[in-house]
Chains A and B, each alone.
Chain A
């Protein structure tokens, strides 16, 4: 828990976990109880208008894409609140801003007392939509592949000549920064670069862009790959970028912190854990409606870990089912090997590491001390 970055609004933890602030849930898990996740990461659709070169969603196709309507989405939130889930983020495997249920979902989550957040490319996140959702959101993280229009358009769309997508995204991000400031909204705005090894020349321009936009942070993270190495990420190449990454961090200002997810970059494709306890605390749901323990298991390949679809069955029934717990226990059993049977660096990575160290007695998770970090309910 030593990786918090001090911002003007509080301690921001992006390169670690926040289980210490959910010790009640850790204790219940330790006692072998069937716990509700602290957080759910999901999407309201599998659709996306971008074509990012680093997109893990390319490897997340399951058998069917169910259409998630607003009623499904709102019932899902009702179930989250009823069973004790504390936060929900719209990231996962689709661009949720495209869904009709996007605005009502966020507003309903807020009404229920759930913390709600969003990851987006911001292309369809126009001012009217921003006005409706920003007051309800705890954080918004914008996917910004690079800091320059041409390379951004090359990595996120059809080619370097399509710079209008960059202009559009920046215009919307600037609007959100201005709105946050004008209304003094308690929302954290950040941009995120998914660092492919060949993009090292984009590290510094990305950091400059973050400072220029006036967002709260600009984070640089690894790129995940599936266990078959579909994207062909060579994790050994990241080390050659360490100096540039450190240089980027020095560009932080009072307003904008440039943050590198060092732990994930260093762990690469070699997790320290064999078992995967994290999904019990941080569950993922696909924009297809599929409920599976983690996004790395959405593809049809991993059907043995598919549990249900919340458009066909209420989530609370899925969560209570023996199917749900059989999948979770499978990931905690010797039958499962995190080193070879799942994609690299899933969203649960930090939580997996911490719970594994706790179970092995290497480092026990202790209650958080001092002030609470920002976004405490997002693990």
Chain B
């Protein structure tokens, strides 16, 4: 049987009380210090933008990183944060808006 099936009905972890009750500054500090003390390959290319109460940790790359590398870097970072801080954390990058100039006339902005 497919090994992954056992997770089919497992709830996704959400952040614990400690993370939720922490201030945004303290959450940011904790993420930064964790990355500094347990660096994963490529994390020096990341700038932390937000560490939200719901566990969403948002980064930006400092330089262009190809798709063959950026997925690995971010999944490694997420694994680290889940293990070291709270299993309810998950990472993403800042979203990008549409570059199609015609469609942009609609005035729809991708929400962060």
Is the pair B71, A307 in contact by a Cβ cutoff of 8 Å? yes
Using A30-B2, A58-B103, A303-B71 as known contacts, say yes or no to A229 and B111 having CB atoms under 8 A apart: yes
A interface residues, how many (CB within 8 angstroms): 64
Residues of A within 8 A of B91 (CB): 304
Q: Which of B3-11, B16-24, B33-41 contacts A (4 or more CB under 8 A)?
A: B3-11
Using A275-B4, A291-B67, A334-B13 as known contacts, say yes or no to A300 and B95 having CB atoms under 8 A apart: yes
Q: Which of A124-132, A166-174, A233-241, A323-331 contacts B (4 or more CB under 8 A)?
A: A323-331
Which among B9, B68, B93 is the interface contact of A312 at CB below 8 angstroms? B68
Q: Which residue of B lies closest to A229 (CB)?
A: B111
Distance, CA A62 to CA B9, complexed state (A): 31
Q: Which of A6-14, A44-52, A182-190, A367-375 contacts B (4 or more CB under 8 A)?
A: A44-52
CB distance from A363 to the nearest CB of B (A): 13
A interface residue numbers (CB < 8 A to B): 29-32, 46-53, 55, 57-59, 61-65, 158, 226, 228-231, 273-275, 277, 290-292, 299-309, 312-313, 318, 323, 326-327, 329-330, 332-337, 340-341, 356, 359-360
Chain A to chain B contacts (Cβ below 8 Å), 19 pairs: A30-B1, A30-B2, A57-B103, A59-B95, A59-B98, A61-B99, A62-B96, A230-B108, A274-B11, A274-B12, A301-B95, A303-B74, A303-B92, A304-B78, A306-B71, A308-B68, A329-B4, A335-B82, A356-B8
B interface residue numbers (CB < 8 A to A): 1-5, 7-13, 64-68, 70-72, 74-75, 78, 82, 90-100, 102-103, 105-106, 108-112
